[in-house]
Amino acid sequence: MDRSIAPHPALSRYYDDDGGADGADGKRSFVRRIFNQTAGDYDRIERFMALGSGSWYRRQALRRAGLVAGMRVLDVAMGTGLVAREEVDITGDPQLVLGIDPSIGMITQALRVLPVRAVLGAAEELPLADGQFDFLSMGYALRHLSDLSVTFAQFYRVLKPGGRLCILEITRPRTRLRRAAVKGYLRWVVPLATRLATRHAHSQLLWQYYWDTIEACVPVETVTAALSAAGFVDVSHRCELGIFSECIARKAPR
Ligand X SMILES: C[S@@+](CC[C@H](N)C(=O)[O-])C[C@H]1O[C@@H](n2cnc3c(N)ncnc32)[C@H](O)[C@@H]1O
| Interaction between residue 102 and ligand X (CB under 6 A) | yes
CA distances (Å), 193 to each of 38, 179, 198, 201, in order?
15, 20, 8, 11
**CB 228 within 8 Å of CB 142:** no
Q: Which residues between 182 and 211 bind ligand X (CB under 6 A)?
A: none
Rounded Cα–Cα distance for residues 52 and 42 (Å): 14
Q: Pick between residue 50 and residue 176 the one whose CB is nearest to ligand X.
A: 50
Among 45, 49, 77, 142, binds ligand X (CB under 6 A): 77
| Interaction between residue 76 and ligand X (CB under 6 A) | yes
| Interaction between residue 87 and ligand X (CB under 6 A) | no
Stretch that binds ligand X, among 11-19, 118-126, 155-163, 177-185 (CB under 6 A): 118-126
Cβ 144 to ligand X shortest distance, Å? 4
| Interaction between residue 82 and ligand X (CB under 6 A) | yes
| Interaction between residue 106 and ligand X (CB under 6 A) | yes
Among 6, 24, 35, 212, binds ligand X (CB under 6 A): 35
Rounded Cα–Cα distance for residues 42 and 24 (Å): 24
**CB 139 within 8 Å of CB 79:** yes
Q: Pick between residue 106 and residue 190 the one whose CB is nearest to ligand X.
A: 106
Cβ 253 to ligand X shortest distance, Å? 27
| Interaction between residue 6 and ligand X (CB under 6 A) | no
Q: Pick between residue 140 and residue 155 the one whose CB is nearest to ligand X.
A: 140
Stretch that binds ligand X, among 65-73, 134-142, 182-190, 194-202 (CB under 6 A): 134-142
**CB 235 within 8 Å of CB 228:** yes
| Interaction between residue 148 and ligand X (CB under 6 A) | no
Q: Which amino acid is at 195?
A: R
Q: Which residues between 14 and 33 bind ligand X (CB under 6 A)?
A: 31
Instruction: List helix spans (H) across the chain.
Output: 25-49, 55-64, 82-91, 104-113, 148-158, 176-183, 190-198, 201-216, 220-229
Q: Which amino acid is at 139?
A: G
Cβ 229 to ligand X shortest distance, Å? 19
Q: Supply the DSSP string of 101-154, one letter for each residue.
A: ES-HHHHHHHHHH---EEEE--GGG--S-SS-EEEEEEES-GGG-S-HHHHHHH
Interacting residues with ligand X (CB under 6 A): 31, 35, 76-79, 82-83, 101-103, 106, 122-124, 139-141, 144-145
